[in-house]
Amino acid sequence: MDHAHSLLNWRSLRWKIALLVAVACCGTALTVGVLVHRSTEARSMNDGGARAINRLSQALKDYERDGVAPDGLVTQPAAMPGQLLDRLEHEQGDGQAMVTWYEGGGPGDHPSMWAARTHRGSPVALETDMTSDLLTRRALDRHMWKYSLIALAVMVPLSALAAELPNRRLRRVARTARRVAAGDLAARTAAGRGRDEVAAISAAVDTMADSLRERLLAEQRFTADVAHELRTPLMGLVTASGLLPQGEATEMVRDRVAVLRALVEDLLEISRLDAGAERAELRPVPLADVVTEALARTGLDARLSTVGAQPVMTDPRRLDRIVSNLVANAHRHGRPPVEVTVTGTGVTVRDHGPGFPPELLAEGPQRFRTGAAERGTGHGLGLTIALGQAQVIGAELSLTNQPDGGAAATLGLPAVTDRGGMGREDDGTGPDRRSH
């Protein structure tokens, strides 16, 4: 399909090269053709002139001998072309010189060569027919046209075909670059040999992919290190604060520890999502069950209603993250009651607060920005995570404001298809199933 499309593309490099070859071929053929035409004509004139002069000399010899003008010898100046007489007049040197004149546009397309000299004071001339010469030259011209066109007809497709080779390599470079852009960091052009510009661009794309991968790996390593460095003291803090005796101050400490912990986990999650290394583990899942369990785990107040829930193809741990973030967001920035509705393969979380700010609807969620003062405080990472995770599991998350007030986040999940029922491709025992 791609091939056919590129064949039909008139802006393709292939047709540009073919056009260039065609122009070059035409130029060469025209130059050679004109030169050959000219030199053939000149030779034909020379030969024709010499022949005419020979014939005139012979005729004059016969005239001298017999005293009678032989057949074809013109002695009346009135029967001679004017230009011939002019020449005879002007180019007469010692009175013995012969002049010739080619009368091209003769009647009935019959050109002829005139030869003349002054004989006994008056001009005598002889006409020699040149029709066969003209026909020969015309035949030659036709041949040159014909073979030039044949050569063109062969060369242009051939050059188009020859252009296919670098074209193919260029297409491979483009494909590789697109795969890298789509997240396949192992994609390489593997051009290998060749020292032309295509090889150079292939090498450049490969180098780009290498450095991109290195940076991403470094980022992932950094995230893992940060995770370790932050979580270890946090773990001590969480457990130690759990040991404090009950009291107002203890509650404050525990609350802040919980906030800090949530923030660290959110940042690590976003950083993993940004690295683009997250892989979903999709399998058929009963939507209502997962949402119910996710709601229970948040410990937040939400009204759940289910209308014809269907099984979906998803990663339940990520779905859990999306739902809990949306519900937490609705509580933090909206007003109760928070309603969670499971319909078919979709989940809607809506609140009855002021709704999403217009900037958020226009530009999407921005980290550490809640958009408006009336939306309350919060680090604004919840929606970013929900959107990021939705992308990983191939779900669609849309944010809208309800006409009767309140923000609504609707998550559309892929349904279980017959073939999609086979969620996991392999044994599922490899260490790279998921990367967090």
Partner 1 sequence: MMAYSASGDGLPAPVAVLLVEDDEVIRRSVAMALERYGYRITTAADGLAGLEAFRDGGHDLLLLDVMLPQLDGIGLCRRIRETSTVPILMMSARGDALDVVSGLEAGADDYVVKPVDTSVLVARIRSLMRRAMLVPAPASQAPTGPATVARSVERPGPALLRFGDLAIDPAGLEVSRAQAPVALAPTELRLLLEFAANPGIVLDRQTLLRNVWDYGWDGDSRVVDLCVQRLRKKIGAERIETVRGFGYKLRP
Contacting partner 1 within 365-424 (CB under 8 A): 421-424
**Rounded-to-10 torsion of CA 256, 259, 260, 262:** 160
Should residue 127 be labelled a site residue for partner 1 when binding is judged by CB under 8 A?
Answer: no
Should residue 276 be labelled a site residue for partner 1 when binding is judged by CB under 8 A?
Answer: no
Q: How far is CA 435 from CA 182, 236, 276, 321, 392, in A?
A: 18, 25, 10, 16, 12
Exposed/middle/buried for 392, CB within 10 Å: 0-12, 13-18, 19+? Answer: buried
Greatest Cα pair distance, the chain, in angstroms, is 155
CB contact at 8 A, 112 and 103: yes
CB 385 → partner 1: shortest distance, Å?
16
Q: How far apart are CA 167 and CA 173, in angstroms?
A: 10
Exposed/middle/buried for 69, CB within 10 Å: 0-12, 13-18, 19+? Answer: middle
Please count the other Cβ atoms lying within 10 Å of the Cβ belonging to residue 17: 18
Binder of partner 1 out of 239, 366, 398, 417 (CB under 8 A): 239
Strands 122-129, 283-286: parallel, antiparallel or unpaired by DSSP? unpaired
CB contact at 8 A, 30 and 149: no
Beta strands, E only, 88-175: 99-103, 112-119, 122-129
CB contact at 8 A, 340 and 331: no
Q: Residue length, the chain?
A: 436
Should residue 237 be labelled a site residue for partner 1 when binding is judged by CB under 8 A?
Answer: yes
b/e burial code for range 251-290 (CB count within 10 A of at least 16 → b): eeeeeebeeebeeebbbbbbbbbebbbbebebbebebbeb
CB 251 → partner 1: shortest distance, Å?
16
SS3 407: strand
CB 163 → partner 1: shortest distance, Å?
46
CB 424 → partner 1: shortest distance, Å?
5
**Where does this chain touch partner 1 (CB under 8 A) — which range of 27-35, 177-185, 229-237, 353-361?**
229-237
| Partner residues linked to 112 by β-bridges | 103, 129
Site string for partner 1, 206-225 (x = CB under 8 A): ------------------x-
Site string for partner 1, 320-339 (x = CB under 8 A): x-------------------
CB 352 → partner 1: shortest distance, Å?
28
Should residue 259 be labelled a site residue for partner 1 when binding is judged by CB under 8 A?
Answer: no
Give the DSSP H/E element, type plus range, for residue 338: none
Should residue 302 be labelled a site residue for partner 1 when binding is judged by CB under 8 A?
Answer: no
Should residue 427 be labelled a site residue for partner 1 when binding is judged by CB under 8 A?
Answer: yes
Binder of partner 1 out of 155, 201, 234, 270 (CB under 8 A): 234
Should residue 431 be labelled a site residue for partner 1 when binding is judged by CB under 8 A?
Answer: yes
**Where does this chain touch partner 1 (CB under 8 A) — which range of 37-45, 205-213, 277-285, 334-342?**
277-285
CB contact at 8 A, 191 and 169: yes
Should residue 193 be labelled a site residue for partner 1 when binding is judged by CB under 8 A?
Answer: no
CB 289 → partner 1: shortest distance, Å?
7
Binder of partner 1 out of 27, 104, 194, 236 (CB under 8 A): 236
Q: Total residues contacting partner 1 (rule CB under 8 A)?
A: 42
**Identity of the residue, 45 or 264, whose beta carbon is nearer to partner 1 in the bound complex:** 264
**Identity of the residue, 71 or 432, whose beta carbon is nearer to partner 1 in the bound complex:** 432
Q: Is the dihedral of CA 427, 428, 431, 432 positive or negative?
A: positive
**Identity of the residue, 282 or 408, whose beta carbon is nearer to partner 1 in the bound complex:** 282
Should residue 428 be labelled a site residue for partner 1 when binding is judged by CB under 8 A?
Answer: yes
Should residue 248 be labelled a site residue for partner 1 when binding is judged by CB under 8 A?
Answer: no
Please count the other Cβ atoms lying within 10 Å of the Cβ belonging to residue 300: 15
Should residue 285 be labelled a site residue for partner 1 when binding is judged by CB under 8 A?
Answer: yes
Binder of partner 1 out of 37, 179, 231, 369 (CB under 8 A): 231
**Identity of the residue, 76 or 239, whose beta carbon is nearer to partner 1 in the bound complex:** 239
**Where does this chain touch partner 1 (CB under 8 A) — which range of 73-81, 108-116, 129-137, 231-239?**
231-239
Residues near partner 1 (CB under 8 A) = 224, 227-228, 231-240, 242-243, 261, 281, 283, 285, 289-290, 293-294, 297, 316-317, 320, 421-429, 431-436
